[in-house]
Each structure stands twice: as C-alpha cells, then as structure tokens.
C-alpha cells in the first residue's frame, strides 16, 4: 500500500484541493506519494511540499537542521 492510499480522508481532501490550485507542482508530490510506501522515503523537498499542502508547520524541526549549516559571525 502506497502513501497516497494510506492518507487520511481529511488530508487527502486537502491534497486534492491544493492539487487543483497548483496542478503542475503538486503532480510531482502525488507521484511521490504513489511510488513510496513509507514517510521516511520522502525527500526533504517532498516533505516540505506535503507540509505546505496539509498546513503543517515544518519550520520548527527542519529550521533547526538548516541552522546547523549557517555561518556564525
């Protein structure tokens, strides 16, 4: 069973609505969700797209990772 098939109904509805607004950019996300079976298989870019689509704030955890690579004066 792929990630798209595992998605909860409410989140699936959000994905469809977002896909209608941005068909070309969300087509890749739908493809990834169809091809992958586990969340950890998503790339960072796919996870960010999914977070944006579902209204999940990814900045808290992902921002800390990016901050690890910023130069400090």
For the segment 44-63, what is each residue's pLDDT rounded down to a tens digit? Answer: 999 988 998 898 888 887 88
37 vs 6: CA distance, rounded Å: 9
Q: Classify residue 30: in a domain, yes or no.
A: yes
Tell me the whole-structure pTM to 2 decimals.
0.80
Q: Classify residue 13: in a domain, yes or no.
A: yes
Query: Which residue range is the domain that position 60 belongs to?
Result: 3-67
Q: How far is CA 70 from CA 23, 30, 61, 66, in A?
A: 34, 32, 15, 7
Q: So what's the pLDDT on residue 73?
A: 67
Number of domains in the chain: 1
Q: Classify residue 73: in a domain, yes or no.
A: no
19 vs 55: CA distance, rounded Å: 14
Q: Residue 16 has which token pair?
A: 């469809």
Q: So what's the pLDDT on residue 17?
A: 84
Distance between first and last Cα of the chain: 48
């Amino acid at each position: 069973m792929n990630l798209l098939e595992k998605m909860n109904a409410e989140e699936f509805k959000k994905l469809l609505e977002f896909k209608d607004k941005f068909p070309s950019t969300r087509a890749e996300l739908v493809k990834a969700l169809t091809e992958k079976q586990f969340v950890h298989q998503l790339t960072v870019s796919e996870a960010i797209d999914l977070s944006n689509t579902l209204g999940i704030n990814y900045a808290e955890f992902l921002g800390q990772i990016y901050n690890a690579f910023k130069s400090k004066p």
